[in-house]
């Protein structure tokens, strides 16, 4: 922690700040600069982080030097983590493809989609039963009925399942039906939900909030690891920017950046990341080229009839073509599908 | 709803789209333009909103014409709403001042703050018992103990209370202790929480998400009104932008924009909206000049010792001075404190 | 300047960095922390700012402590500057109103507008002769002919003029016709233009870029002051954010923030800042309440016939009403119109 | 163009709007909806674009249906354009690598860099002689001297050159020394500069502004094509967002989006797009996987001694490694280096 003083800070003000730091059991090192003084704080930065030192008279700014995340960091665990869910390993050599509809609509449609995505190379079926929707008048999902359909289809077809949980009260229930619980972008900072999932010890796919920095994203993962649940798969799904041609701006930088900062696996959702099905395939190739460990893609047998997000869904033919193209890129970067 | 076709759309594609619209019980009006055709959809736009028409071959874009919000709109209710909580009316002639610490720390400190803010003109005491924090290692609030302290202080001093609820499981409990439940920026799209609060029929202060558009903000309020709870107070608290000098960018435009679009009262939180106590007073004056119905301000007897957000808290002297300056502006715009 | 080292930096790497700093004539102070070392650099920060120290092996990050702006800062000049242009003082007690059309269209229309805005209380006439337009097919302004009309009208009616310069080659020409040269948002970092205006010593109204931070904005002003031209009036005109309901998001925080950081006067452009004429009046009141020294407002006798930006222009009746309301707020904050 | 009326628009107001449209030589088609009326405008949208119809009483919003860009669009020219500069073709099968320092420092350093980048596979040498810098106190480039060095090195080593032009007065001069003129992000909307380059007919690399939408970017290219200069290479270099871990957010979506909207070639600048040399290689792979036609990369023999942007520059070893990895990806997507 670095405390920068104002140019006109008095000796008394400076002393008061230094005394405060010492009272927390930390050491200080004062640098008398040409224009202003700087106080370096030595010791556990966490002790002082909760103190609003900027509120002290004479302080111009306080600069944190260390990252706040610990368990998720590469410093804590230098080797990359592989999250194993049954027979699928996320974060290993294989690029794991997850495909399926935005929302689970009925047994027959989901089964048809599942058979197709499996054939094309997917290992995990995605599909929402509880849908967080901007409008109370939009389709809110089939709920528990959807979970049952999901489980039945996955058992039949031989796929794992990933589906979103939006309420801490549902975690226990979900655990009975699904392999991987997804925390959506809107819930990235629903901390009680994160804690419940942490306690459940179940695999979780944590999506980045649309306005969350990379560091805030990792701090949310830290909540789950802090409950001793290390089965966390991160997911970059685009951030909100001024650009309106695409639904979101997929932050491709975040993929290698997170690989540097954290040991956790990261997958990419090109469907929400672009919002336009015509962009999904090239952006999927890019994601894998950048180092992503998997893809989460919206697929529908009839996107134009989907009850949600059809605009950004691939049909099954385009999905097959996408996997094929991505496979070539995966091999070029030493991975496989 | 306007459906713009591509310049090379075939007659078959066009027919398929029109048939689809008709099958939903809606009428179409086709305009054959110089460069491309446009299909106007006549009837209830909601019927078609759930259909991903952009996924149909031949469609270039689909443009929604009507707003999705109904109950919150001025069209639905032209006169401004006044939310009455005991003896305080928010949205009337009076500018309602809400002040208090970020987090409730202990009985004595809260009481001292409460006495001071009341003396200066505040009607409502703010203070968090359940704190959503970016880091799992930060202070998470006193929980129920905090609620009890809040209630005791408000009863003693004669103030109403507003405090944040972060979990749908807590709504019933909170209702016993607090006058106004606050939904924080991070939970603006925690739809199950919104529904629970709607069902509770209790007054609610709904904060705009840092990444939410004005229209999304109003849609979240719609969730609460849709449960037949019209006691909603909106709160602009700054949005996230590229600017880093301030913690957030207070969206002053949103105040008159929301007054035009909606009948609900709106207050402003200049503490989170700026993140710097030195900016709170001028921005408070601006908020009231722009038409805000109240202010939600962080105040502490010793900001430099506050366990949370001290950097943006006013001390009691500055709070008193702020209210005085805001009162002069309020009178200039025909309001009072 | 603070140099934070990685946790695994070697002694050799550390030595190399320290030697580099010393070779620039600066001193270092090394703090051996629990988790990593920090090197404080003592001396003129500018010497080291141009060195990409982050490129040295072993460096995690480099944190600048001091602001880069000098001449524009309050530390350099603690008292507020007043820019005097003929009989008008910007930055003094008076709130200076500047009104007029987006683009100069013809003599008669401009004269009619000028008579009206003067009557309502404006001191300065705005209007563009050279228009930077997103599309090459949009109206590009009348050019020199527009400047002549501007001068004639101002002389007749008794107003000062402000108009935009978009090309360094035009500075000398503009100086013959206009009182204040405006640098538009798109040219805030057209550094050669800034230098030419600096050299001209003429009063300048410098608009903030739509994606410029407050600090970058002040650095652009620094370019002008660095040519010994202190006649700079800053103008907040809204920044680009994710919000699309308004054309820009007026950054009200920037007004008091700039007042703290700099001695230069600052005015607000509520027309571009909102993009909707219905929001101009409340946001104008807010700007003055926040401490702005003036307003730059688009006004037209027939906004619906304006060749540019009619959507955000006030008609003359609404302009008169706006000035009246702003005057009440100005008096409430100890200013006058 | 679609004109949406308010729900309470009067018949007179509606008539006035329709008359206005007709007076411009356009036809209207009125749709009387359940909640409000909509006026469709048929004919050349450009005629009406300059009219601020939203300023008419009774109008709620005006929605443009057609894009404003013409010459740059795929509709205008369905086949992809290949820009040929001497023996290098940008937009063809080959991925064109452009490498070199941020700023030209001296003959020897530039020569050393040039020899290295050529050996690794680059075809074009980049390097700035005129540098637009945020601060007037930063290194502003060698100017003409730099251009001469650039030409000498390129002639010797056998590379083409690309360098930035920042002033319309310099275009003629630059044309003598350099093969491709670059328009930097800050000048993307310096329309007079664009026009001068258009008139010069010289190849130009146009960078996207950090605050520019994809459509604004294409409109700026339109300025150049409108002067009958079709030798335009677009360059995505990252946009400004709320994320601060990286210098910019590289908009990977923009690559395939622009390929859909326009026939012009597009290259990617991963150096500015990330701001961190450790991210340049994975993001370069991603850019080529997404369909980019080339890369513009900062390279230096000693990044830690570079006078500008060393933090984001690759050293020559890492550059060689980058090209190798990108080549594998290029082949996976049917391209070559």
Helices (H), C178-276: 191-200, 214-225, 254-261, 270-274
Subunits close to A (at least 3 CB pairs below 8 A): B, C, D
**Which residues, including other chains, have CB under 8 Å from residue A317's CB and lie 6 or more apart?**
none
Task: Note whether B291 contacts C: Cβ–Cβ < 8 A.
Answer: yes
Predicted local confidence at residue D149, as pLDDT = 97
Task: Note whether D325 contacts C: Cβ–Cβ < 8 A.
Answer: no
CA B323/CA B97 separation, integer angstroms: 8
> Class for domain A83-332, per CATH?
alpha beta
Phi-psi group of A309: left, alpha or beta (phi > 0 → left; psi -120 to 50 → alpha; rest → beta): left
Predicted local confidence at residue D266, as pLDDT = 98
**Which residues, including other chains, have CB under 8 Å from residue A266's CB and lie 6 or more apart?**
A233, A234, A235, A236, A254, A255, A258, A259, A292, A293
Q: What is the tally of helices (H) and strands (E) in chain D?
A: 11, 14
pLDDT < 50: residue spans in chain C: none
Q: Report the range of poorest mean pLDDT among A146-155, A324-333, B40-49, B255-264.
A: B40-49
A310 alpha carbon, distance to own chain's centre: 23
CB atoms C304 and D135 under 8 Å: no
pLDDT reading at A19 higher than 80: yes
Whose tokens are 């028409």? That residue is B53
ipTM of the complex: 0.90
Retrieve residue B228's tokens: 């037949």
CB atoms D244 and B244 under 8 Å: yes
Residue A225: band (very low, low, confident or very high) from pLDDT cuts 50, 70, 90: very high
Whose tokens are 């055709």? That residue is B37
CB atoms B246 and C260 under 8 Å: no
CB atoms C222 and D136 under 8 Å: yes
Nearest-CA distance D207 → chain B (Å) = 20
CB atoms C52 and D309 under 8 Å: yes
Among chain A residues, CA nearest to B139: A50
Report the SS3 class of residue B168. helix
Report the SS3 class of residue D99. strand
pLDDT reading at D10 higher than 80: yes
Mode of pairing for the β-strands spanning B180-183 and B160-164: parallel
Report the sign of the C-alpha dihedral through residues C72, C78, C83, C88, in that order. Answer: positive
pLDDT reading at D48 higher than 60: yes
Report the SS3 class of residue B79. coil
What DSSP character marks residue A26? Answer: -
Work out the angle between the directed axes of helices C254-261 and C214-225 (0-180°, nearest 10). 50
Among chain D residues, CA nearest to B3: D65
Phi, psi for residue B3 in degrees, rounded to 5: -110, 115
Among D79, D80, D69, smallest CA distance to D265 is for: D80
CB atoms D42 and B34 under 8 Å: yes
Phi, psi for residue B223 in degrees, rounded to 5: -55, -40
Domain boundaries, chain A: 2-63, 83-332
CA B255/CA C274 separation, integer angstroms: 12
Q: A248: which chain C residues are within 8 Å (Cβ-Cβ)?
A: none
Q: Considering chain D, what percentage of its residues have pLDDT values greater than 90?
A: 71
Query: How many residues in chain C?
Result: 337
CB atoms C213 and B256 under 8 Å: no
End-to-end CA distance of chain A: 45
pLDDT reading at B19 higher than 70: yes
What DSSP character marks residue C239? Answer: B
pLDDT reading at A144 higher than 90: yes
The beta-carbon neighbor of A241 closest among D249, D283, D329 is: D249
Task: Note whether C256 contacts B: Cβ–Cβ < 8 A.
Answer: yes
Average pLDDT of chain B, as a whole number: 91
Q: Which residue has the higher pLDDT, B14 or B259?
A: B259
Q: C303: which chain D residues are within 8 Å (Cβ-Cβ)?
A: 52, 55
Which residue out of C101, C137, C232, C241 would a mutagenesis test of the D interface target, given it has the greatest number of D Cβ atoms within 10 Å?
A: C137
Rg (CA), chain A: 23
Q: B313: which chain A residues are within 8 Å (Cβ-Cβ)?
A: 52, 55
Q: B277: which chain C residues are within 8 Å (Cβ-Cβ)?
A: none
Nearest-CA distance D37 → chain B (Å) = 10
Task: Note whether D42 contacts B: Cβ–Cβ < 8 A.
Answer: yes
CB atoms B55 and A308 under 8 Å: no
Predicted local confidence at residue C72, as pLDDT = 95
What integer is the mean pLDDT of B145-157? 97
Subunits close to C (at least 3 CB pairs below 8 A): A, B, D
Q: Report the range of poorest mean pLDDT among A98-112, A121-135, B272-286, C32-46.
A: C32-46
CB atoms B167 and A168 under 8 Å: yes
Nearest-CA distance A1 → chain C (Å) = 10
Q: Do residues B138 and A50 make contact, with C-beta atoms less than 8 angstroms apart?
A: yes
CB contact residues (below 8 A), chain B span 65-124, against chain D = 65-66, 75
Predicted local confidence at residue B66, as pLDDT = 66
Phi, psi for residue C219 in degrees, rounded to 5: -65, -35
CA C145/CA C130 separation, integer angstroms: 10
Phi, psi for residue D303 in degrees, rounded to 5: -50, -35
Task: Note whether B187 contacts A: Cβ–Cβ < 8 A.
Answer: yes
Residue A139: band (very low, low, confident or very high) from pLDDT cuts 50, 70, 90: confident
**Count of B-D CB contacts under 8 Å:** 54
Phi, psi for residue C28 in degrees, rounded to 5: -125, 155
CB atoms A241 and C242 under 8 Å: yes
pLDDT in tens, A252-291: 999 999 999 999 999 999 999 999 999 999 999 999 999 9
CB atoms B289 and C291 under 8 Å: no
Task: Note whether A42 contacts C: Cβ–Cβ < 8 A.
Answer: yes
CA B188/CA B206 separation, integer angstroms: 7
Architecture of domain B2-63: 2-Layer Sandwich (3.30)
Percentages helix, strand, coil for chain B (3-state, rounded to 5) are: 40, 20, 40
Retrieve residue C76's tokens: 């350099």
Among chain A residues, CA nearest to B52: A310
pLDDT reading at A50 higher than 60: no
Predicted local confidence at residue B47, as pLDDT = 67
**Which residues, including other chains, have CB under 8 Å from residue B23's CB and lie 6 or more apart?**
none
Q: C191: which chain D residues are within 8 Å (Cβ-Cβ)?
A: 132-133, 136, 166
CA C228/CA A263 separation, integer angstroms: 53
Predicted local confidence at residue C65, as pLDDT = 67
Nearest-CA distance C242 → chain A (Å) = 4
């Amino acid at each position: 922690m670095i405390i920068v003083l104002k140019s006109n800070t008095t000796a008394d003000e400076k002393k008061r700040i230094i005394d405060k730091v010492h009272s927390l059991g930390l050491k200080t090192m004062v640098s008398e600069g040409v224009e202003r003084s700087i106080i370096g704080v030595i010791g556990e930065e966490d002790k002082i982080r909760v103190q609003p030192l900027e509120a002290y008279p004479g302080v111009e700014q306080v600069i944190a030097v260390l990252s706040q995340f610990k368990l998720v960091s590469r410093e804590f665990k230098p080797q990359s983590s592989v999250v194993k869910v049954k027979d699928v390993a996320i974060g290993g050599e294989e690029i794991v493809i997850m495909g399926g509809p935005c929302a689970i609509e009925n047994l027959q449609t989901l089964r048809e989609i599942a058979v197709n995505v499996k054939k094309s190379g997917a290992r995990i079926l995605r599909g929402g039963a509880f849908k967080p929707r901007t409008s109370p008048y939009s389709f809110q999902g089939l709920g528990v009925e959807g979970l049952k359909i999901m489980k039945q289809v996955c058992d039949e077809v031989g796929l794992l399942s990933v589906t979103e949980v939006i309420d801490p009260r549902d975690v226990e229930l979900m655990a009975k039906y699904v392999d991987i619980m997804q925390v959506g972008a809107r819930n990235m900072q629903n901390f009680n939900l994160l804690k419940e999932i942490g306690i459940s010890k179940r695999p979780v796919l944590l999506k980045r909030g649309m306005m969350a920095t990379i560091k805030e994203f990792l701090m949310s993962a830290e909540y789950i690891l802090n409950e001793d649940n290390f089965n966390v798969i991160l997911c970059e799904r685009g951030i909100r920017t001024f650009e309106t041609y695409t639904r979101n701006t997929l932050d491709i930088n975040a993929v290698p950046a997170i690989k540097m900062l954290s040991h956790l696996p990261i997958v990419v959702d090109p469907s929400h990341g672009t919002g336009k099905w015509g962009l999904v395939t090239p952006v999927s190739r890019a994601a894998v080229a950048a180092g992503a460990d998997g893809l989460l893609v919206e697929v529908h047998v009839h996107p134009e009839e989907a009850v949600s997000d059809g605009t950004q869904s691939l049909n099954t033919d385009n999905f097959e073509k996408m996997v094929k193209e991505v496979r070539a890129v995966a091999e070029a970067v030493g991975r496989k599908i």
